[in-house]
Amino acid sequence: MDPVSRETVDGIAGVELVRLPVWPDTRGWFREVFRSEWAPEQFTGDIQLNLSETRAGGLRGLHFHRVQSDWWVPVSGSIRAAVADLRPGSPTFLRTAVLNLSADDPACLFVPPMVAHGFLALTDARLLYAVNRFYDGTDEQGVAWDDPALSVNWGTAQPVLSERDMKNPGVKDLFPGLQLRNRS
């Protein structure tokens, strides 16, 4: 079974919003949230499922991976998700997109390698996500959530951040020698 629809997010190749069908009945509803056949090139072999809970106002990210792909599914609450293309050869290098996702609107977000991603919890929220490799820390990278080179519109200036995310480097530190224009 295929998801209802797939759409590229703000022209960033590989970043997709996947709308999912819901089958309601008198007990509630059922929905499939992931099939490896929906992303067969990315999800083969080792697949890990993770569940995070974030209090309203908490921001996770921006994180990126050189190898790992992510498949995000909000299971409770609402989040503001952001993606930023960090693939130097990409025609959309440094393009960002922000979209609101909610457990009440059945959709998933697919994030390919080298696309930074993060989210702000608009309410208390739980995010289920599948990744295409087991976690070992070697592929976990970060970029500053408030980097002016990305100019992500989070809708807040003072989110609750982890100590690690407070220390994420800026784009100019990740790509030395790259000439950047301030986008803010």
| Marked catalytic residue, from 63, 65, 117, 135 | 63
Could you identify the residue written with the tokens 């295929």?
2
Question: At residue 134, what are phi and psi to the nearest 5 degrees?
Answer: -70, 140
**SS3 state of residue 28:** strand
Active site residue 63: yes
Paired tokens of 110: 């697919």
Do residues 87 and 15 lie in contact, with contact meaning Cβ atoms separated by under 8 Å? no
Q: What's the start-to-end Cα distance of the chain, in Å?
A: 43
| Marked catalytic residue, from 65, 117, 129, 135 | 129
The catalytic site residues sit at: 63, 129
